[in-house]
Structure 1
Amino acid sequence: MKIGPPPYWLQVVLRFVYPPLAVLVTVAALPLIALGVLLWPLDRRMRLARVVFLAVYFMWEDVSILVQCMWLRVRSPVDRGEDWIAHHEQLVAHALENFFRTAQRVVSFHVVADGEIDLGDPTRPAVVLSRHAGPADSLALAWIIAAKARRVPRVVLAAGLLWDPGLALVLRRLRAYFVPSRSGAGDDRTKGVADLARGLAPRDALLIFPEGRNWTMHRQQAGVEALRAEGEHERAEQAARWRWVLPPRQRGVQAILEARPDADVVVVAHTGLELFDSPGDIWRGIPFGPTEGLVVRTTTYPAGDVPRDPDEVATWLDERWTEVDAWVESHRRPGLRGS
């Protein structure tokens, strides 16, 4: 069940409650970290110490973003110019770099590129369409966009993330779009994505997950059944042949392409995290082995090669997802489904 966003007044309260709460959580976490180290004879991987330390570290990176955002408001109560935006972009890029560098040291998480990371013509904005599978894949892709491609990530996110005070504040100021719940949303979901696309600058990369939710085996099967129930039997048969992706939703992609016909389109395939869909899976996988981690491939399509007609977009998107599915099948780790 999806978590809805908190009301705005509660978001404001959370900004002031969060830092002292982080202090209390840290004090409570220190004995757990020490216990995890002492349990080394029973757990040579020291999972407890690693997981708790990384969670606390992430929390303080988030608190740091929140505090710096508040300071920027005090320092520039009126100015909302280019410098204001640039400072917030630097906050996000710096936090992502710190978190993934720390994750590499603590749990051996690493990202491997299958070929060159190419996000299109740097003089034009890019639209990044990615498979959605595994914990923190959206953060990892935002880090790749910022650190590897030297672009500014603009992200379409679930509204439930507005419960995170630091992320919510900085991403709101950077014009991220938080997708509202389906109930009562009407066409606002598509309109908000289109508005975000219209505001893209040349260095921006708009990251969207057309599947709408993380892949799991159950959701893949449910997606096929949903297409059959809607009478889309031909597409359901095609989706049934996919093993590693969910049927992509066209409307958001169509709205973006109509809003920015000048943008290059990048399709991202990745594998390595898809079966970490429960706390137990993550626990057993930590730390990652030398052959594990996130493997990423990007394929760039120049703006002129991407269709804009709705029917053609739907066909084009399904073709790209067929390619993503085949790539994941050929690059998945040993031991995944079907091995």
Structure 2
Amino acid sequence: MKITSLPSLPAPPYWLRLVLQAIVPFVGIFFSLVFVVVAPFMLLLWPWDRHLALLRCLFLALYVMWEDIGLVVECWYLRLRSPRGNSPTWDEDHLALIRQALNNIMFTAGKVVGFKVDVEGIITVGRPGHPLVVISRHAGPADSLAIAWLLASTAGRIPRIVLADVMLWDPGIAMVLQRLDSYFVPSRSGAGDDRSRGVAELASTLSDKDAMLIFPEGRNWAPDRHEGLVERLRARGEHARADRVASRPWVLEARSRGVAAIRENAPEADVMVVAHTGLDMLTGPGPVIRAVPFRNRLLFRGITYRSEDVPTDPDEVASWLDAEWDEVNGWVDAHVRQREQS
């Protein structure tokens, strides 16, 4: 799986990551005390905030922090049990940590802010004996979290994740994923070709129990980002490309380089293409808080292709992905229109 679309930020050095792991429980205690002091005053906002949306969001953020602290503590415990990390259940133990944390977060998010997930039809997670690669649209709050939860709860596969190195600032996530041999993509500054090379290296090591998630748009869709992309393409004189992007208002341009690297290095992997909608227009903290409790559910659709039905030639991958993105845009557009009419 791959989780990206985070702002560029230099990764913390190794010594600082160790410090973060050591102090994060105390940070959690500090913010918990702050919340206990602040919460009664926030209740006074009820005449203006009838749903107590801000209070709910702050509580959920605090809860997620404590889940992350739990990952740190559990990782320490697993290290004590297996100092060299050579336990026969090493991967399975860490997969269980991720699955439990995601289950807890999704359950709590549903209760606190109304974050619910529905699936259209039946999602198959690839054939036994084949790795799984998931290619997804990226839009709305917590979509990567929800996809990771769906994969962990239904597929039971070991995540081999490519994600932005800014995630190394998150002690719990970083500890678990590093132990599962994940790859943290360097920030763009000075990264050179390392971004696609890391994807290729990870793909070449996938086993038949693994899942890899990639967002080929590279960042979260938002109306202003879509409009800005069209404007930049026109300013560069790439009018045909700009027209193509403009014709698909619900997706950003899908970059095929990473997908092609995966197909070249893991040709035996089955491929799932994921579309989703429901919280698309919640593109910032303000809209998210105003929408709480969420009235729309996050609706997913996943179509899985056999490995032999997906091309491996880079040019053919680009054409295949472009056609798939037409389908994703059309599916989202149809559901958005349906919601507007209901």
With the length of structure 1 as denominator, give the TM-score of the two structures.
Answer: 0.93
1:311 to 315, 320, 325: 315
CA apart distance, 1:155: 2.6
Within a 5 Å distance, the mapping from 1:1-339 to structure 2 comes to 2-228=8-234, 232-289=238-295, 292-332=296-336
Fraction of identical pairs, as percent: 51
Gaps spanning 5+ residues in structure 2: where? 1-6
| Greater Cα shift, 187-196 or 231-240 | 231-240
SS at match of 1:299: strand
Match of 1:259, as an amino acid? N
Match of 2:38, as an amino acid? L
Cα distance, 1:228–1:177 mapped onto 2, change above 3 Å: farther
Match of 1:299, as an amino acid? I
- The answer as to whether partners of 1:158 and 1:179 remain within 8 angstroms in 2 is yes
| Greater Cα shift, 30-39 or 244-253 | 30-39
- Relative CO higher for 1 or 2, CA cutoff 8 Å, sep ≥ 6? 2
Count of matched residue pairs = 336
SS at match of 2:89: helix
How far apart are the structure 2 equivalents of 1:40 and 1:90?
40
| Greater Cα shift, 2-11 or 54-63 | 2-11
Match of 1:194, as an amino acid? A
Match of 1:295, as an amino acid? L
Gaps spanning 5+ residues in structure 1: where? none
- The answer as to whether partners of 1:271 and 1:294 remain within 8 angstroms in 2 is yes
SS at match of 2:304: strand
CA apart distance, 1:12: 1.4
Please give the root-mean-square deviation of Cα atoms over the aligned residues, in Å.
2.0
CA apart distance, 1:176: 2.2
- The answer as to whether partners of 1:114 and 1:297 remain within 8 angstroms in 2 is yes
CA apart distance, 1:315: 0.7
* CA shift digits 1:57-78 (9 cap, x unpaired): 1000000001111121122112
Match of 1:24, as an amino acid? F
* CA shift digits 1:35-75 (9 cap, x unpaired): 34454444321213311211111000000001111121122
SS at match of 2:160: strand
- The answer as to whether partners of 2:161 and 2:213 remain within 8 angstroms in 1 is yes
| Greater Cα shift, 223-232 or 249-258 | 223-232
CA apart distance, 1:226: 4.2
How far apart are the structure 2 equivalents of 1:302 and 1:174?
26
| Greater Cα shift, 175-184 or 217-226 | 217-226
SS at match of 2:184: strand
- The answer as to whether partners of 2:260 and 2:314 remain within 8 angstroms in 1 is yes
| Greater Cα shift, 136-145 or 231-240 | 231-240
* CA shift digits 1:152-182 (9 cap, x unpaired): 3333222211111111111111122222122
CA apart distance, 1:207: 0.4
With the length of structure 2 as denominator, give the TM-score of the two structures.
Answer: 0.92
SS at match of 1:332: helix
- The answer as to whether partners of 2:91 and 2:158 remain within 8 angstroms in 1 is no
